[in-house]
Amino acid sequence: MQRITAIYKKELKLYFDSPIAYIFIVVFLAVTSWLFFRTFFLLKISSMRSFFSIIPWMCLFFIPAVSMRLWAEERKTGSNELLMSLPLQEWEVVLGKYFAALTVYIVTIILTTPLALVVGLLGSPDWGVIIGSYLGCIFLGAAILAIGTFVSSLTTNQIVAFIISVLVVAAITIVGQPLVTMFLQGPFTVLVPYAEWLGMANHFASISRGVLDSRD
């Protein structure tokens, strides 16, 4: 556990010692806040639904941007070989890096909670649904980050890692959408349940409605 913590602290320091993490966080907060308040004032409804509906699409770009350097940079500079020569298990290095990136994402999500407080002041939202939705955001981010971490380990180029991660996550997000399942109706009907199960956005939608299902 101490070795995982050491890797975790090292990676977290690398994130926040450079402006990259701050830029990503500010951009994420600016875009989500703008889209939230734009919809909020247009519909004049005290609800977080519009905010949580855009989270999967924000994560589609934000998390691959956070994860792209995890292994690609190490492989490019050759420092991964030095890292692996230390008295560390491979899984300890992987977990340390993963949890550091996950922390950056969770901190970003926590920084959006003032939006929920605004909704609470202006109306009477269902706090159970809001808490469940935030929990769903963390699970969704953790799943996407796992994909991004794996892709980053396959290349030495951060941009390539980012692009491939975005494409993979986009495919998994879109595959369960009604338009896709409608297209599969007919000769491909047998694939519909699998597409709905694979669709990441569907699982997030269930949790954001306050439905906690072990299948999600």
For residue 18, the surrounding DSSP H or E stretch is none
- pTM, 2 dp: 0.83
Written as six digits, the tokens of 155 are: 């290349």
- Rounded to whole angstroms, how far apart are CA atoms 216 and 214? 5
- The residue written with tokens 């809001």 in the block is 130
Written as six digits, the tokens of 90 are: 């491979």
- Rounded to whole angstroms, how far apart are CA atoms 196 and 121? 36
- Rounded to whole angstroms, how far apart are CA atoms 5 and 97? 10
Q: What is the chain's length? A: 216
Does 186 score more than 60 pLDDT? Answer: yes
Least confident of 43-47, 118-122, 145-149, 160-164: 43-47
pLDDT, tens only, 189-213: 666 666 666 666 666 666 666 555 5
**Inter-helix orientation angle 200-208/49-67, to 10°:** 140
- Rounded to whole angstroms, how far apart are CA atoms 45 and 92? 46
- Rounded to whole angstroms, how far apart are CA atoms 111 and 25? 9
Provide the pLDDT for residue 41: 77
- Rounded to whole angstroms, how far apart are CA atoms 153 and 50? 34
Does 18 score more than 90 pLDDT? Answer: no
Backbone CA torsion sign across 25, 28, 34, 37: negative
**Domain around 81:** 2-208
- Rounded to whole angstroms, how far apart are CA atoms 133 and 138? 9
Provide the pLDDT for residue 78: 63
- Rounded to whole angstroms, how far apart are CA atoms 134 and 113? 9
Backbone CA torsion sign across 151, 152, 153, 156: positive
Q: Is 189 domain-assigned?
A: yes
Q: Is 150 domain-assigned?
A: yes
CA dihedral 209, 210, 212, 213 (to 10 degrees): -30
Mean pLDDT, residues 144-161 = 92
Q: Is 158 domain-assigned?
A: yes
pLDDT, tens only, 29-58: 998 888 888 877 777 776 787 788 888 888
Band (pLDDT 50/70/90 cuts) for residue 216 is low
Q: Is 59 domain-assigned?
A: yes
Q: Is 116 domain-assigned?
A: yes
Mean pLDDT, residues 99-113 = 94
Q: Is 50 domain-assigned?
A: yes
> How many other C-beta atoms can be found within 10 angstroms of the C-beta atom of residue 91?
9
Band (pLDDT 50/70/90 cuts) for residue 102 is very high
Band (pLDDT 50/70/90 cuts) for residue 82 is low
Does 154 score more than 60 pLDDT? Answer: yes
Provide the pLDDT for residue 37: 82
Mean pLDDT, residues 92-118 = 92
Provide the pLDDT for residue 101: 94
Provide the pLDDT for residue 138: 92
Q: Is 216 domain-assigned?
A: no
Provide the pLDDT for residue 80: 59
User: Cα separations (Å) of 115 from 33, 47, 50, 208?
Assistant: 8, 10, 11, 16
Number of domains, the chain: 1
